[in-house]
């Protein structure tokens, strides 16, 4: 059975980029609901002992329905949110990062190779986040050869369903940003760069 993931920072540590109020609703209520729903769905089934990634891939398409919720949506949202919440680091200084927040090493080399520059990567990432219709996620992912791609995933989908390794994501469901940014999705995406923990993203890239 699954449990709500613990945050690697205090609930107010991401302010003003993400408020404590948003963290308490997004992590403490929305994600908790997905965890509770999935635990009810998988009890006594073949999925009970599977890791999230396997549940997502085996139930892709939402073909297993129960109690108005399906395995894919709840497992996918838990996986997505776990990767999302653990990719951030606390804000420093006077509400912003003191130094430019950017990747280094092999990850930066791969970004430059596949997108031309870090700034070009950020611009494409934000554009794909803004233009994703409805609710969903925009991801930085790597293929089996280490090539980086940006994917738009609707609803609960995750790049692993395409054979890709998910590295970094921005949540564009409205509950992720509406308290702090109202309908200004673009402003939300632009602000998130300040709190990305590139050491964590690099670790995922090297796995």
pLDDT single digits (tens) 96-155: 554 568 999 999 999 999 999 999 999 999 999 999 999 999 999 999 999 999 999 999
The confidence score (pLDDT) of residue 98 equals: 44
Q: Show the CA angle centred on residue 111, arms to residues 159 and 204, nearest 5°.
A: 50
Task: Look up tokens 């990062």; give the residue.
Answer: 97
Provide the pairing of β-strand 148-154 with 165-171. unpaired
Cα–Cα dist 198/196, whole Å: 6
Residue partners of 205: CB distance under 8 A and separation at least 6: 106, 107, 110, 142, 146, 165, 167
pLDDT reading at 66 higher than 80: no
Q: Is the pLDDT of residue 85 over 90?
A: yes
Whole-number Å distance between alpha carbons of 21 and 27:
10
In this prediction the pTM is 0.93
Burial profile 40-72: b = 16 or more Cβ within 10 angstroms, e = fewer: ebbeeeebeebebeebbbebeeeebeeeebbbb
Average pLDDT over the chain reads 92
| SS3 category, 185 | helix
Question: In the chain, what are the domains?
Answer: 20-85 (1.10.287.990), 105-206 (3.55.40.20)
């Amino acid at each position: 059975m699954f449990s709500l993931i613990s945050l690697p920072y205090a609930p107010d540590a991401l302010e003003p980029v993400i408020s404590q109020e948003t963290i308490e609703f997004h992590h403490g209520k929305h994600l908790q609901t997905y965890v509770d729903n999935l635990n009810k769905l998988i009890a006594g089934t073949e999925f009970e002992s599977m890791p999230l990634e396997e549940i997502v891939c085996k139930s892709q398409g939402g073909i297993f329905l129960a109690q108005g919720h399906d395995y894919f949506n709840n497992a996918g949202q838990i996986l997505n949110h776990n990767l999302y919440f653990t990719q951030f680091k606390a804000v420093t200084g006077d509400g912003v990062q003191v130094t430019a927040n950017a990747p280094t090493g092999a990850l930066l080399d791969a970004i430059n190779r596949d997108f031309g520059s870090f700034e070009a990567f950020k611009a494409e990432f934000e554009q794909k986040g803004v233009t994703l219709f409805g609710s969903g996620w925009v991801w930085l992912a790597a293929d089996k050869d280490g090539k980086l791609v940006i994917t738009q995933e609707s609803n609960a989908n995750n790049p692993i369903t395409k054979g890709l390794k998910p590295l970094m994501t921005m949540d564009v469901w409205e509950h992720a940003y509406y308290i702090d940014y109202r309908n200004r999705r673009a402003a939300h995406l632009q602000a998130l760069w300040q709190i990305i923990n590139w050491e964590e993203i690099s670790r995922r890239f090297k796995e």
